Amino acid sequence: MQIFNLDSIDIFPYNERGKNVFFKSKEFKTRIIKLLPGENLPECEMASYVIFIVLEGEADITVNTDKANLVKNQCLITEPSTISMQSKNGVKIIGIQVVKDL
């Protein structure tokens, strides 16, 4: 068992996103994503299922061609897809990538 204090995890910018992974196993990988106001995550092709949980703020997310606005305490679960995200006012999200074929 491991317990993580999400308020004390250092968060790095997108170009150093690999450092934002705070747990990794062969089944899944968990990271913190933080976008400052006006920032975005560029479109990326995800080969795995992804779970996003909004901790603070809100973000506009596009999954393939579907668009949604996620706010604090909402959770989005997506199958493998093309994903992009932007935030007008800033957001802090947990992203969990799940291996497709468990």
Residue 65 backbone phi and psi in degrees, to 5: -110, 0
Residue 13 confidence (pLDDT): 84
Which DSSP letter does residue 95 get?
E
> In angstroms, rounded to a whole number, what is the distance separating the alpha carbons of residues 88 and 2?
33
Q: Which domains does the chain have, with CATH numbers?
A: 14-98 (2.60.120.10)
- Digit-coded pLDDT (tens) for 46-86: 999 999 999 999 999 999 999 999 999 999 999 999 999 99
> In angstroms, rounded to a whole number, what is the distance separating the alpha carbons of residues 25 and 21?
11
The pTM score is 0.91
